[in-house]
Structure 1
Amino acid sequence: MEALHIRSMLGLLKIAGVLLSVGGTMIISLYKGKILHLWNPILHRHNEEDSKVLKVYPYKYWSSMATCLVGGFQTALAGVILRRDKNAWKIGWDINLVTIVYSGALATAGKYSLNSWAVAKKGPSYPPMFSPLSVVFTVVLGSIFIGDDITIGSLIGTILVIVGTYVFLWAKANELPEK
């Protein structure tokens, strides 16, 4: 829980930082503007004739499930190598079982389902919009690696997200600890 002291300068700066970050993500998503050609991409976009994931896995959730299964097997293998105590691997009807079911059903499967639904409805930039810095990384790395366009809107939005994040963090760091 974050304490908001609206009558203090630091509280107002924290609110301003949040508004700048959210506003920046909205500008990235909603305003395009002129395309800036800052660098050449490392990888190039594939043509429509090239093979794609949906041609190999025609059911869109199967590729996500296969990714989760492979990641699960890799994690289990690392766990068995690093944790050899048999008692650590016992699962009973307790909070450990609830944690496993929750993280598998909601945190992984639910997230993939909601993200793919949001991408289908609003486009690929919509899901990361709720985590401002991931939008900045998406814009920059997408431009560097696959040649996504950097536009005036994405540049302005990126600057606002970074400024907003640091304004919030500066105000938070300068707050006096509560006693």
Structure 2
Amino acid sequence: MVVVQMLFSVLNILIKLALNDGMDARVLVAYRFMFAVVFLCPIAFFVERNTRPPLTRKVVLHLFLCGLFGFTINQNLYVLAIKLTSATFVTAIANLTPAATFILVILTRLETLKLRKRAGQAKFVGTLIGMGGAMLLTFYKGPELKLLRRLPRPKLTHITKAHHTHPPSTGNQILGSFLGITSCFSYATWLVIQAKVGEVYPCHYSIAAMVCLFGAIQSTIMAACVERDKEQWRLGLNIRLYSSAYAGLVASGFAFPLLSWCLRKKGPLFIAVFSPLMLIFVAVLSSILLNEALYLGSVLGSILIVGGLYLVLWGKAKEQAEVSKDDDMGRESIPMTATSEMK
């Protein structure tokens, strides 16, 4: 999981470098999923060719929606938010995903809000704290923290063109925050749909390949409608190619199966606990490689978001423990009932 978070951290830095080079955000997302499809489709075909159940219209529709919410909408909003603000800022906002998922499942009545229990109270308070941290990130900047300024800084002028970066304006920061929060809710929608698909179509590689395929088609159509300049679509041996290839081959093709392996070994809560680690990696890498400033408001908002994240995770873990305990008690009562009936 440390390796996974490090791979995703490098992705955020490469995305920002490609955007600083003038690459269109929608084109970058489209190329990412093209590379991911080329990588994942052969793996899915050979690994799961004997275990795949037949595709139904309902499964295809759900996979299309997964590509729409989890990849096309989510990634376009996420990358645009990085363009408007900074990699560290958007990484902090991304930790709102568990809170967004909690809000979504309550609104769709997939779960009930049990405020009389400590677990429900922790999830509710954690969600409020996380959203408060997001608001603090958005509207409070504060003084610059120069602790990371002392670290050595390599020059990246030979990697990108002469696109000068400036601290985000207040308007860009507010708009970027809105896009980042919306991407969290889009990602949460994907999680809900993906869970339903996994129950009826338990083929992880095939699901990832087909969702990437739908995401590539949707993202390419969107990018082609908005960006018709051929120069934006031209890839050479530059940061645009490196970022697109890394995003598709490494961050999607390699990191996602690795993430799935960790998920099977330790479960979703173990995975979610490592999310704030990427925030630390991105903050350090952004300061060293992108010369991004770190402000007090970002640190305080990030602390609140991470604190809210762990409260939500604690509440979810406690709920799962209670459900497991009730199931165990139910199993123990069955033999006793059967014995009394025999008597």
Structure with higher helix content: 2
Output the TM-score relative to the length of structure 1: 0.50
TM-score (norm 2): 0.29
Structure number with greater CO (CA < 8 Å, separation at least 6) is 1
